[in-house]
Structures are given as structure tokens and as C-alpha cells.
Amino acid sequence: MVGYVLDASALLALLQGEVGSQRVAVCIKEGALISAVNFAEVATKLCEAGMPESVMHEALDMPGLMIVDFDSALAYRAALLRLTTKHIRLSLGDRVCLALGGHMHLPVVTTDRIWESLTVGVDVQVIRS
């Protein structure tokens, strides 16, 4: 069963052992989704940090974490979020994450506190207080 959508920041917090990482681990254990776009953001950060590809695969291969393809339905949803989130300058990756949460009717888990101020019909759960 899947219960959450992870933002790239949440998965990075887990991988780096940051505050809130335990919450992300529980989400993955219970079943979590991440968009292919956000997954690419995480892989990019690991690559930039010098992690070899084989180690990256080992680190990111997590039972309970499912990668969702970025398709035209999510593309439209992410695009439509631009107008309602423009004031806080969300990136495309941020909007893709929120679009996936809205599409799947699942809460989105992130480290970005500013998302709590959004009224886009998505339950945002911030892992850091």
C-alpha cells in the first residue's frame, strides 16, 4: 500500500541522515512514491557529491519506494500549479511533486516549510519543525 509522495528534499534528508530522516524512513516502509523528475534531482545531487553510479544505485534501490513516470497528465497538473505558486517561486520539480500528490490524493512529504502556506488541495507534511 502506498501512503505518501516524497519530495526530493525529503529523500535527500534520509540519505544524508538529516533531521526528519526517521520520518522519511517510516514513509518508505509504509509505501511511498516519488516522481521520476524528483528522483532525477536526488540522483543529480548524489552525482554532484561524487558518488559513483554503482553506489548511487545501491543507495537509491529501496523497497517501498516506487518511481512514477512523468507523463502528460502530470505535466499539465504541474503547469497549472505555476499560477497558484508563482508568489513563492516553486521550481518545476517542486510543482511536479505537488502535482503527483494531488493526482494520487496522497500527502506530500518535504523539508520545505514554505509549502505549508500553499492552498493547492494537497496535504503537505514538513519533516522538520
Query: Hey, what domains does the chain have and what are their CATH numbers?
Result: 4-126 (3.40.50.1010)
Q: What is the pLDDT at residue 127?
A: 96
Global pTM reads 0.95
Angstrom distance (rounded) from CA 38 to CA 22: 20
Work out the pLDDT band at 83, boundaries 50, 70, 90. Answer: very high
Burial zone of 5 (CB within 10 Å; 0-12 exposed, 13-18 middle, 19+ buried): buried
Angstrom distance (rounded) from CA 5 to CA 99: 10
